[in-house]
Amino acid sequence: MQVHVRHQPSFAVVRCLLAPGEPMRVESDAMVATSYGVRIESTMQGGLLKGLRRSILGGESLFVTTYTAPPNGGWVDVAANLPGDAVVMAVTPDKPFNITRGCWIANSHGVEIQTQWAGMQNLFGGEGGFVIQAQGQGDVVLGAYGAVDTLDLGPDDAVTIDSGHVVAYDAGMQSRLRRAVEGRSVQSLKSGEGLVFDFAGPGRVMIQSRNPRSLIEWLTRELPFSRD
């Protein structure tokens, strides 16, 4: 699979070029268009239990759609639900990485997407304790709300990131979740921040410039309540 990203950075669309007969997996509502003849099959990848685990615990759709190119090859265009950028990450057997809720869009056939327990530290960070882990060999397409930055941390580097801005990170990185203002919840509320992640290198961390939860909170405040 070859990947080209266009319409960056605000409304990214990713074109995945497939060889004859090559399959790829796509989040159920992420397809924009395909070349004629591409075969589409929607299934609960791994069966009902894995599908429910991915949907309920990992925050992704119950169904995963497989697109298979016809004998002359083809392409599939995919995009995220929210406006923003998209990025392609290479996965190797020794470099799995974790993806936070709603950021996975698609992956090549050699990559396996599984829901993994990320520890109690992740339970209250908006991820419900679980993340999507990409492992294997190939490419993964990720979408973000806003622009994307990739931080490459060395062995002596560390960074603090608001929990709602984390897109993905190397699975072997050290991390912890904490209140933004240590020790006092009231002070955290006054600062306008809630929970943050501390990441320690070496490894990669991807962040998005906007927080989807903030958008939801703003819409909830602004939209009128139903009076039915």
Domain ranges of the chain: 2-222
Comparing 26 with 216, which gets the higher pLDDT?
26
82-92 residue pLDDT tens: 999 999 999 99
Cβ contacts of 182 within 8 Å, gap of 6 or more: none
CA distance linking residue 155 with residue 85, whole number of Å: 28
Take residue 29 and report the two structure tokens written for it: 């509502």
pLDDT classification of 192: cutoffs 50, 70, 90: very low
Tokens 């074109």 label which residue? 15
Give every strand in the sheet of 23-27, ordered side by side: 39-43, 64-68, 23-27, 104-108, 138-143, 86-91
Pairwise CA distance, residues 58 & 60, whole Å? 6
Class of domain 2-222: alpha beta
Contact in structure between 24 and 34 (CB atoms under 8 Å): no
- Count other C-beta atoms under 10 Å from residue 9's C-beta: 15
pLDDT, tens digit, for every residue of 66-77?
Answer: 999 999 999 999
Predicted model pTM: 0.80
